[in-house]
């Protein structure tokens, strides 16, 4: 792969995240190239979700820098980072449960809507037009993720597989350039997992960069362009799927020191 031609959309530099005495991330360095799927794997408690929280602004890192399209974002608030073009899903699905499937996606569209409160309060025709625009954009997203026929159902009533897909759809509605997916296949059966993996590939085809945390190794090996392995907050390996599969350190971290296993 030609390094000089590929632009880094995300750069994480010497990031430290400490919760009191607990070091969740230790001097972490890595880059994500534009347009690729990069997976982050590692045993439970390795710091994967913490890393997502740092990137998306849930909390600022203790030390270090995070750059998105060359702009420092490590001190920005979550909503500001979302506006710049990073979106995410959660390990435990976090939908707006009191809203319909369509409304969930419509809220995602909020990020790209420029409307002042005054305008929406007093100029009804304009509000109507905007509402119609958002609605049709949200329907497009639903079509892309294949939930069109459930648009009016309550988000709460969907089966887990569809809720996970809907959460991805809501993330896409913010028109991100980078999507962080936190265990999109967790808890899904084989068919649903396949559907999620296919969706992720189609998102990549749209030119959106994907950062993926996932435990299902079949999915990870199948769709990732690059894999980074974390263990106790440190990067222990990074490379293409084949390299990672044969990396002794990785096997050790996962299987607890059985060197001869592979």
Partner 1 sequence: MEEFSFANQLFQYLITGLTVGSVYAMVAIGFNIIYNVTEIINLAQGEFVMLGGLIMVFLHAVAGLPLILAFPITVILVTLVGMLLDRLAIRPIRQPSVLTLIIATIAASIIIKGTAMFIWGKDPFDLPAFSGRTPINFLGAVIQPQYFWVIGFLIVTVILLTLFFEKTIIGKAMSACADNPDAASLMGINVKWMILLSFSLSAAIGAVAGITVTPISLMEYDRGAMLAIKGFGAVVLGGLGSFPGAILGGLILGTIESFGAGLISSGYKDAFALIVLLAVLFFRPSGLLGSVEISKIKRF
Judged by the rule CB under 8 A, the positions of this chain that interact with partner 1 are: 56, 58, 77-79, 82-83, 87-88, 90, 94-99, 103, 106-111, 113, 115, 117, 120-121, 127-128, 130-131, 134, 170, 174
Least distance from partner 1 to the Cβ atom of residue 212, Å: 17
Please give the backbone phi and psi of residue 33, each rounded to the nearest 5 degrees, phi first: -85, 145
Least distance from partner 1 to the Cβ atom of residue 138, Å: 10
| Cβ proximity to partner 1, 6 vs 113, nearer residue | 113
**All residues at 6 or more sequence positions from 161 whose CB lies less than 8 Å from its CB, including other chains:** 188, 189, 192, 195, 196
Least distance from partner 1 to the Cβ atom of residue 31, Å: 23
Give the end-to-end CA distance of the chain in Å, rounded to a whole number. Answer: 27
| Cβ proximity to partner 1, 27 vs 58, nearer residue | 58
Least distance from partner 1 to the Cβ atom of residue 96, Å: 4
Strand 226-231 and strand 209-213: the pairing is unpaired
| Cβ proximity to partner 1, 74 vs 226, nearer residue | 74
CB–CB of 171/111 below 8 Å? no
CA distance 213 to 52: 9
CA distance 172 to 101: 14
Least distance from partner 1 to the Cβ atom of residue 171, Å: 8
Q: Give me the residues paired with residue 151 across strands.
A: none
| Cβ proximity to partner 1, 14 vs 131, nearer residue | 131
| Cβ proximity to partner 1, 62 vs 111, nearer residue | 111
Least distance from partner 1 to the Cβ atom of residue 83, Å: 5
Alpha-helical regions (H) of the chain: 48-55, 78-84, 101-109, 117-122, 124-145, 160-173, 190-205, 217-223, 241-245, 248-255
| Cβ proximity to partner 1, 58 vs 245, nearer residue | 58
């Amino acid at each position: 792969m030609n390094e000089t031609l590929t632009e880094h959309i995300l750069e994480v530099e010497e990031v430290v995240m400490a919760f009191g005495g607990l070091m969740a991330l230790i001097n972490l360095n890595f880059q994500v190239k534009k347009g690729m799927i990069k997976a982050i794997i590692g045993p439970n408690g390795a710091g994967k979700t913490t890393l997502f929280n740092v990137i998306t602004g849930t909390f600022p890192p203790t030390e270090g820098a995070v750059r998105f399209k060359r702009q420092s974002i490590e001190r920005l608030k979550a909503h500001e980072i979302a506006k710049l073009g990073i979106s995410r899903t959660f390990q435990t699905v976090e939908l707006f449960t009191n809203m319909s499937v369509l409304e969930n996606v419509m809220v995602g569209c909020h990020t790209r809507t420029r409307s002042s409160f005054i305008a929406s309060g007093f100029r009804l025709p304009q509000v109507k037009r905007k509402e119609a625009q958002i609605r049709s954009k949200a329907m497009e997203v639903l079509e892309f993720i294949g939930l069109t026929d459930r648009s009016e159902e309550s988000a709460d009533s969907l089966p887990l597989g569809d809720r996970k897909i809907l959460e991805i759809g809501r993330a896409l509605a913010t028109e991100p350039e980078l999507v962080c997916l936190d265990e999109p296949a967790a808890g899904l059966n084989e068919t649903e997992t396949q559907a999620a993996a296919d969706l992720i590939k189609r998102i990549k085809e749209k030119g959106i960069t994907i950062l993926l945390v996932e435990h299902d190794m079949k999915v990870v090996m199948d769709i990732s362009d690059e894999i980074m392995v974390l263990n106790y907050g440190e990067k222990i390996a990074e490379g293409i799927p084949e390299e990672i599969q044969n990396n002794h350190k990785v096997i050790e971290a996962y299987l607890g020191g059985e060197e001869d296993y592979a």
